[in-house]
Amino acid sequence: MNEHSLISKNKLADIEVTMGMCVINYHASTMIDLGCVMRVEDERRELSNSGPVLHIIPSDSPLVEQEALTWLGSDDAMQNVVARAIVVPSNLAVLQDKIRWVLFRQSVPFRIFRNPQVAKGWLIDVWYEELAKEKARISRRD
């Protein structure tokens, strides 16, 4: 185990928090439904209740419910989360997210991607912007 990481493994996913970023790797046999993501989110909050969160759903996952993805971007799920990105095996979910993003310009930093590197890059960009805003707020108070 990396001395700078917190790791939790269960039957649904492996959760790792390293340098403030949480990466959740769902197991291949896991059905990604609302109950599953809520249980994993509860466990993630026990490890770390802040920073960006990256969910990686394997391409051979038997089920990925849209309701579960929608909940992950909800106000309840996004409490104390700087940004959340989900990597999914379905182009359809990515297309639906892009349409939502273009039409509604959500203020919630939540996106769905197909590529883990692109998702992680987006998370780091959003995280950096939030840190810069916080630093500016602090310097104005001084």
Does 41 have pLDDT greater than 80?
Answer: yes
Spell out the domains of the chain, with CATH numbers in brackets: 5-141 (3.30.750.24)
Place of tokens 């993003």: 101
Interatomic CA distance for residues 7 and 17, integer angstroms = 6
Confidence of residue 1 (pLDDT cuts 50, 70, 90): very low
Residue 27 near residue 55 (C-beta atoms within 8 A): no
Segment 12-22 mean pLDDT: 92
Write the pLDDT tens digit of every residue in 44-86.
999 877 889 999 999 888 888 888 988 998 889 998 899 999 9
Interatomic CA distance for residues 93 and 116, integer angstroms = 15
Q: What is the CA radius of gyration of the chain?
A: 15
